[in-house]
Copies of this chain bind each other. A is one copy, B any other.
């Protein structure tokens, strides 16, 4: 049994969903292991993780629009605005989604469904460099 860990960096350019499936799956599958559990942990409080449909691009724009509506920018609603009007909505949108995902590795592949992609959800308006901690725990073949 062994565990591999890595930090991966994701550069975001704007608010919204950035697909990271390929980078994560490549790393996981490069460990050349048969069975295991991959955990991805987002080390931020204004960016999060989401598994969602990776086919129709409208799903992503609808998701982005939805979270802008459900946790809107509105200075009158929040006391915290240290980093601007998108600061507190970013924390709320993070709280409503996830900072951690674990995905079984079965027969050497992540057990993602056909239409599932892994996304980093950037909730701040300006570009950020985000760090994901990855850990995979494996039974060697």
- Seen from chain A, the residues whose Cβ lies within 8 Å of a Cβ on chain B are 1-3, 5, 35-37, 39, 41-45, 50-53, 56, 58-59, 61-63, 66, 70-71, 77-80, 82, 88, 91-92, 94-104, 106, 111-116, 131, 133-135, 137, 139
Contacts and interface: CB of A to CB of B under 8 A. Distances in A.
Contacts of A115: 44-45
A112 B1 CA distance: 24
B91 A139 contact: no
A71 B80 contact: no
Contacts of A95: 50, 52, 63, 66, 97
Given A3-B37, A50-B95, A106-B133, 19 more contacts: A2-B139, A37-B39, A37-B137, A41-B102, A41-B104, A42-B113, A43-B111, A43-B113, A45-B52, A45-B116, A52-B95, A59-B80, A59-B88, A63-B95, A66-B92, A66-B95, A96-B96, A100-B102, A100-B103
